Amino acid sequence: MTIDMLLLEMIKRISYAVILGLVISRLKLFDRLMINKLSRFDRIIFTVIFSSIAILGTYGGIPIQDALANSRMIGIMAAGLIGGPYLGTSVGIVSGLHRYSLGGFTALACAISSITEGIVVGLFQKYYKGKLIPWPIALGIGFFGEILQMLIILLVAEPYEHAYALVSSIAVPMTIANSLGLALFMYIIKAGLHQRPQQRANQSQNILAIALETVRYFRKGLTPESANAVV
């Protein structure tokens, strides 16, 4: 498979980032994540969610030279950028161990890079407490994270000749596709959060309208007819 074809296939596989980003942004407990007031149970829930995204990225990988060109790092880096080093590390460990269990000559390197990226990328979130990292910054961090992964593969995977051949094939398409996927994920999350105030305002208006309508009928006196009208 050529680099161009691999890039196209990788981009096709990151489309799930749009759907999952939108779903996550709608979760009520996401508000608590943004203000760093998560309970232990909340942390477990988010670890499961982002680990599932990362593992899904692994299973959606493309076999290349006894390895996988995958989008696992989108879930790991998104966890770090949104939840900080704690969540990034937790997701990195879970998804890294899962990748290690699948075997292959890059299994150890991928496990190490998963954990490392979760920690390192999570540190960037410290500068954006209570805020989401802008998608252009996420794009740059995605590039950094993927380059870090390629370096770890070259340093850890054996034999080196196989590692070099693999990196030569997957570095460009994985870096471009996964960086775009991460930026898109963060953009969707932020867009979803910006819609929250309008949604709450609409809900408040609906509740107020119902309350006023109910009061109007009570003023007339509660009769079977008015009760049915309120319902």
The mean pLDDT values, 10 residues at a time, for the chain of 231 residues are 76 75 76 71 89 90 84 92 90 96 93 94 81 88 94 94 92 91 87 63 51 53 50 45
- Residue 225 pLDDT: 54
- Residue 216 pLDDT: 59
- Residue 196 pLDDT: 58
SS3 221: coil
Residue 164 contacts residue 1 (beta carbons within 8 Å): no
CA distance 141 to 59: 23
- Residue 40 pLDDT: 82
Which has the closest alpha carbon to 70: 144, 177, 203? 177
CA distance 192 to 78: 15
CA distance 82 to 190: 11
Q: Which residues contact 136 (CB under 8 A, 6 or more apart)?
A: 183
Residue 178 contacts residue 157 (beta carbons within 8 Å): no
* CB burial of residue 42 (10 Å; 0-12, 13-18, 19+): middle
SS3 78: helix
**Residue 87 is which amino acid?**
L
- Residue 109 pLDDT: 94
Q: Which listed CATH number (3.40.190.150, 3.40.50.450, 1.10.1760.20, 1.10.287.370) goes with 3-194?
A: 1.10.1760.20
- Residue 217 pLDDT: 47
Q: Residue holding tokens 């596989």? A: 13
CA distance 174 to 24: 24
